[in-house]
Amino acid sequence: MSITSDDYIINPAYNGTSDINLLLPGANGIPVGEKGAVLVTVMVNNCGSGQTGFMNTANASGTAPNGATTTDISDNGSEPDANGNNNANEAGENDPTPVNFAPNPQIGLAKRNVKTELLPSGAAQVTFEFNLENLGNVNLSNIQITDDLAAAFPATCVPTVMSITSDDYIINPAYNGTSDINLLLPGANGIPVGEKGAVLVTVMVNNCGSAQTSFLNTANASGTAPNGATTTDISDNGSEPDANGNNNANEAGENDPTPVNFAPNPQIGLAKRNVKTELLPSGAAQVTFEFNLENLGNVNLSNIQITDDLAAAFPATCVPTVMSITSDDYIINPAYDGTSDLNLLLPGANGIPVGEKGAVLVTVMVNNCGSGQTRLSEHRQCQWYSAQRCNDHRHF
């Protein structure tokens, strides 16, 4: 049992029976419009099996400068004045707070397709994340997740489990998704009230054939309450087992299958950032750009290239000169000058695997943009460019 508050001086003698004051008498005030909270934890013993439902209210009081007293009967929840009329002591806002000791075992499971990678061999490597949660009011033992890969990837597909890992549970090393569909070691795992845990599974799928590219897949969770009752759930797609937050994950809209698709989907993504612009006393400007490349699709990409036309970026009379081009991730093109050779990467020399990222840094010296100018300014630069260019180069 405990009583704490960040806002008030609590009454350490509060025991809820002979002393029912939560706050130290005469020691606390509350300014207009302010709020404050008190947290009480109570251990309740010996209720017996016939007594499981309880209703409960608390009372508040305070004194005004003119000596008038104001009181309120608590409302259920965290909002004293739900209708916002500055009167909390009215019908609909004095409702008791229910407490229930009836065991309510509730397990929830979500299944997410983290990554699908199509390999040159024609096989696909699929990674799933399973998120398990105890949504009930009793600890669960003997918890299990089952996922039938033969049902998920039917003949002629041949699924093979490449890895199964968890930071939270003891996994079943014999899981193969076909003859043994238990992800967790049977009898070895439990989950306390309110806790969550995850399991990651990577599966290699071979031999599906070109006609079979779209799959739907569900997993199942189960656990045992202290009274021996069992709770089960069908997985929902994504990482949240109980999207509507009602502590019941096994309902319509929360048992949806997880899609997997083997149709090739090449997707490259590029971002360009102005890391630094340095205006030199000479009137030249030194500009550093960072290019971030990402493989957002499900196939590895070869022959990747980034082009950047500096003559278009900095038109006459500007003279852009590449000072440096570097990358920790790719073989750069040492001949890149941004005018006659626009390729940042050495042609034919670079690839990017599914889900990977990489960066290139380029520093450019820009001279001679305007006669009679000793420094470039954004304002002046914008006068020279068309409106579109001006927006594009606002960083310059």
Contact residues: Ca ion, CB under 5 A = 72-73, 75, 81, 83, 85, 87-89, 93-94, 233-234, 236, 242, 244, 246, 248-250, 254-255
Q: How far apart are the first and last CA of the chain?
A: 63
Rounded CA-CA distance 158/177 in Å is 11
Return the residue matching tokens 């390729």.
Answer: 343
Q: Which amino acid is at 18?
A: S
Q: By C-beta, is 55 or 331 nearer to Ca ion?
A: 55
DSSP symbol at 296: -
How near is the Cβ of 88 to Ca ion at its closest, in Å?
Answer: 4
How near is the Cβ of 233 to Ca ion at its closest, in Å?
Answer: 4
Rounded CA-CA distance 28/197 in Å is 42
Q: By C-beta, is 94 or 305 nearer to Ca ion?
A: 94
Q: By C-beta, is 58 or 335 nearer to Ca ion?
A: 58
Q: Contact, 30 vs 36, CB < 8 A?
A: yes
Q: By C-beta, is 128 or 396 nearer to Ca ion?
A: 128
How near is the Cβ of 145 to Ca ion at its closest, in Å?
Answer: 12
Q: By C-beta, is 58 or 275 nearer to Ca ion?
A: 58
Cβ-count burial 262-289 (b if 16+ within 10 Å, e if not): beeeeeeeeeeeeeeeebeeebbbebbb
Q: By C-beta, is 104 or 363 nearer to Ca ion?
A: 104
How near is the Cβ of 273 to Ca ion at its closest, in Å?
Answer: 41
Q: Which amino acid is at 34?
A: E
Q: By C-beta, is 83 or 274 nearer to Ca ion?
A: 83
Q: Contact, 236 vs 161, CB < 8 A?
A: no
**Backbone phi, psi, residue 88, to 5°:** -90, -10
Can you tell me whether residue 150 is helix, strand or coil?
helix
Q: By C-beta, is 79 or 309 nearer to Ca ion?
A: 79
How near is the Cβ of 221 to Ca ion at its closest, in Å?
Answer: 8
Q: Contact, 386 vs 342, CB < 8 A?
A: no
Longest dimension (CA), the chain: 93
Q: Contact, 216 vs 264, CB < 8 A?
A: no
Tokens representing 287 are: 């500009």
How near is the Cβ of 48 to Ca ion at its closest, in Å?
Answer: 31
Q: By C-beta, is 85 or 340 nearer to Ca ion?
A: 85
Rounded CA-CA distance 159/116 in Å is 13
Rounded CA-CA distance 307/35 in Å is 58
Count CB atoms within 10 A of the CB of residue 68: 8
DSSP symbol at 171: B
How near is the Cβ of 310 to Ca ion at its closest, in Å?
Answer: 54
Can you tell me whether residue 151 is helix, strand or coil?
helix
How near is the Cβ of 112 to Ca ion at its closest, in Å?
Answer: 13
How near is the Cβ of 10 to Ca ion at its closest, in Å?
Answer: 21
DSSP symbol at 339: S
